Amino acid sequence: MAEQDSALAADHPVAPRPGTDPAASGTATVVPLHGEIDVLTAFPLSDRLDALTARPHPDLVLDLRAVGFIDCAGLGVLCRARNRVLARDGRLRLVTESASLRRLLRAAGLGGVFELVTVPPRPARGGSGR
C-alpha cells in the first residue's frame, strides 16, 4: 500500500520544482509550484509552507503559473499559509495569470482575500538579499 501511495504522489508533483529551492527575491521568498495542489500533495506542501512562514514578517510569493489543478485541500493550504503570514505581520502573494483560478477563488468565497499578481517580484540587484 505504501508503494502505491508513493507512486500516486509522484504523479501529482507540487513543488518546488525538482532541483530548485525557494529563491529569495529582494526580501521575498518566491516558491515556484507546479502540477496539482490536491489531497495528495496538500500535507507535504503545507509542511513546507509552515517552515517558510515560521519567522516574523514572512514575505512569501507562491508562483502558481505552472499549477494545473487546485482542489479544496489545495485551497485549504493556501488559506493556512495566508493565516500564518498575517499572524506574523507578513505578506503573501499568489502569482497567477489564470482566469480559472480567479473564478475558483471567487466561487469559494475567497475573491479579494489573496493578493494576486501576474509576475513574481524581481530579484534585488547585487545578489539574493540574504
CA–CA distance, 42 with 59 (Å, rounded to integer): 21
Query: In the structure, what pLDDT confidence band is assigned to residue 123 with cuts at 50, 70 and 90?
Result: confident
For 37-56, write each residue's pLDDT tens digit.
Answer: 999 999 999 999 999 999 99
> Which string of DSSP letters, residue by residue, matches 86-98?
HHTT-EEEEE---
Residue written as grid cell 469559494? 108
pTM of the model: 0.78
The single-letter DSSP state of residue 17 is P
Mean pLDDT of the chain: 84
Q: Which of 130, 82, 129, 121 is nearest to 105 (CA)?
A: 82
For 73-91, write each residue's pLDDT tens digit.
999 999 999 999 999 999 9
SS3 (DSSP) at 62: strand
Per-residue pLDDT reduced to its tens digit, 18-31 = 334 555 555 899 99
